[in-house]
Structure 1
Amino acid sequence: MQQIEDELEKSSEKYQYLIKYAPTGIYEVDAHNRFRSVNEVMCKALGYSEKELLSMAPSSLLYPESRKRFQQRTHDILAGKAVDESVEYHVKTKNGSGLWVVMKVKFIQKNGVIDGALVIVHDVTERKRSERALLSAERKYRRLFETTQDGIMARNLEGRMINCNPAYAKMLGYTRKEIKSLSVRQLIPEKWHNQRDRVVKKVIETGHSVLFEREYRRKDGSVFPASVRTWRLTDGKGKAIGIWSIVREISLQKQQQKSLEEHAGVLEQIVQDREKRLKDNERLVAIGQTAGMVGHDLRNPLQALTGELYLAKTELASFPQGEGRSNLEESIHVIEEQILYMDKIVSDLQAFVQPIHIDKKPVGLQELLSAVIQTVTIPQNVTIKLENSGRSLQIRVDPHLIKRVLINLVTNAVQAMPSGGRLYVLAKVDSHGHVSISVEDTGVGIPDRLKSQIFTPLFTTKPRGQGFGLAVCKRVIEAHGGTICFESSEGKGTRFTLDFPAA
């Protein structure tokens, strides 16, 4: 008998030792649901001392809802019903933070009557927090998935839809039910099929996301550009089962980009034009300064030569007729022509340098054209045709300056036909009163490589030209608010056209 008692005592000591040092919370209650014992883990978890806990009722440590659940579960166990041992309870702690636990209850019987219970407590607070965080994240993801304006979709490796959000279906003009039955190749133009295959292969093989652009085709057949970022989709074991993507329509961005590119091109052209204008202005200033100086320095000697030539002609008139007089007369004629040519050079230089002052007066169009034709010497091998649809019309221009422009154009036209040809001077007036005058020849024409320089000061194709004529013409016409332009085909001829605004 003593041996049995000793064995029981040893067994009880082992039992108490296991309870005390077990890594989980353990406590015992009596038949009246009062603590008999609590281990250190239980005390530490709840923040109470052993003495404090032994003075408390276990049910007082449960929050109301958990207390009700525990009482119902105890009743079911006593009634012999099967219960779920994974039920969680919310337990109060001394500092008020609370714990979530799972409690496993083992009833202790004595003489066939329940004498108490042994309760093993597993702290599941961290797991509970993780589950709540996961649930919160899931809710946030679901809210984002359902409400974002970007399309989100997942496809298997064969390109069949696994799932998509409402925005993706709406973007393509389908219902979610309709779109789930379509492959990706049915939603993108054929030219993007190979790109899709390359992207999927890269994402699956590397595991890295890829950002790219492509086009999609809506249900109504319209096509729109989209920016797409694609990731690898895996199962719970990390095995690739497909891809998922975020799709954003970028039609507006593309339009804005195109508009920006167009504006950039316009701005670049403006900058180039301004730079060219600045360089031209700098060049014109230099030319003007040189031209003014040269014109001034040549004018006085020319006047002296003209005076001496007049005296020589007067004195020559008293010479008797003969070969000597004839030779002198021929020499004087040549000198006179050269003086006139030099005077023209000086006039062009001064005209280019001086500001253009317009003195507009009513002048008959027919009278103006006739005066120009009579001024210019027309060779016998050149035929001239003058057409004027506004014979009785008067236009408000500076007659002296416009006559000079037309004389320059007609002279150039004649010189462009050294072997003869046809010269056309045409004047037209439209219903709005705009006057157009054109001078056209059938001469040698202007080579394409020289056309951009035609109105550039000091540029000329003539052996004895100075390159101021057309530059001055352009300044005069623009000072009148008009325009001057030309068309030319090498070997066929040239046509210059003056357009004047309505009076």
Structure 2
Amino acid sequence: MNTFLSSIGIENVRINQMKKNNIEIPIADLFKSFFIESLDAIIFWNENMSVINANDAACRLFECSLDILKQYPIDAFVYEKDEKYHAIIQDLNRRGSVRDELLFQMYNGQMKYLEFSTKLYVVDGYHMTIFRNVTERYQMEKKLRESEQKFRKIFEGSLDGMLLWDENQRIIDVNPAGEKYLKVSKYEVVGKTMRDLLINCHFPDDELNEVMKNLMIEGHTTGTITLTTRSGKTLHYEYSTKQNVVSNLSLTTFRDVTEKLEMEANLHKSDTLSVIGQLAAGVAHEIRNPMTALKGFIQLLEDSSEGKHSMYFDVISTELNRIDAIINEFLILAKPQAIKFVEHSITQIMSETVNLLGAQAVLYNVQFLLHYDDDLPSLICEPNQLKKVFINMIKNGIEVMPSGGFITITMNQTTDNRIHISIKDEGYGIPEEKLKKLGQPFYTTKERGTGLGLMVSYRIIEEHEGTIKVESEVGKGTVFHVYLPVGK
């Protein structure tokens, strides 16, 4: 074998001469030429794993000369002889050949991933291994796997629902948030089409066609849709779809905004009822004064008439009493509603409020700066009522910053066992003479405001035995300070 391989150089010269003279080349000569000219590294080794010979490509790959290679067994360059390595050896001994990949350390210390193909007893009882450097491919695959893992973590951990679907609108995957929002399991939706999913949720077919049409034209689409679950509950979702995000797959993200829309509707209803209540209180006050006089004079006239026209006096008294009953019913609207207080986290209430107003803040180019103390104690409160207060204050801050800016929200516990919430904007501020009137019925600093929002806020905080203080400087902004007692 040694003589055979050492003669390769001389044979190569002879082969080149035969090529020039168009003489047929023997198979053995072709093999020798392949060994020398191959771009892949080829190493011959014996039963002791000692390297017998190697071509130039092998020397270049292992970063050393042939003489150095011969000093080591062929597996000396394997970086780690782990379970995979021993499994490869067992497979080679059993089958007589093997093809796999391992990490090798070159003679100069460089690390390379090599793909190799080994065949036992190729020539004269010697074995042959062909190596190829796949380090670049391995690194690319590693980056691809890492990228896929990152996407998977984002996909699985997102608070928004996510759907991946192909060019045939067939759903490929759905994340846990999506399962929660849609009230279905992954196995129920994967394989179905987006059309099947939406039609089953009673989404109108013509609206679906319009959405898909806009997606094909624009490449992306956003909006709000209303779906009905299997239990019959109506849910509202904000969605955003991007076509061909990766590998002909489209991504739809969505979130449940049912609570948000219901809260907005309740706020609108609350404001309306507040207006009615204030009007009722004002009307009742204006009517009761003259009614008191009418009742007194009717009584005097009845006493002086000596029983005449008693029927008329009875009718008048009855109708006056009826008016009084109507006024009492009117006043019920002006009275505070019964509130059920529970123990709740103020941090959670504020976080949910900020999330609720996030979209409006983006439209006004407003950003939130949040500073919450750790381990704030829970409050005995009505969470939705406090949300109304914070929504009113934050919305006021957003609306007074048409050019954008920051709203800073700070929450901490005071030394007198109260929670201090401050909401600071960078708006145009409120003059000192107007600060004293804030919270009064129908007083507002906004051109189209009613003043009812702050009026309701003041009432809610009073019902929670808290206080509101306002600081403002024209041209620099306004700070609302809300103080709520702990444990009451």
Q: What is the TM-score with the length of structure 1 in the denominator?
A: 0.42
Largest Rg, 1 or 2: 1
Q: What is the TM-score with the length of structure 2 in the denominator?
A: 0.43
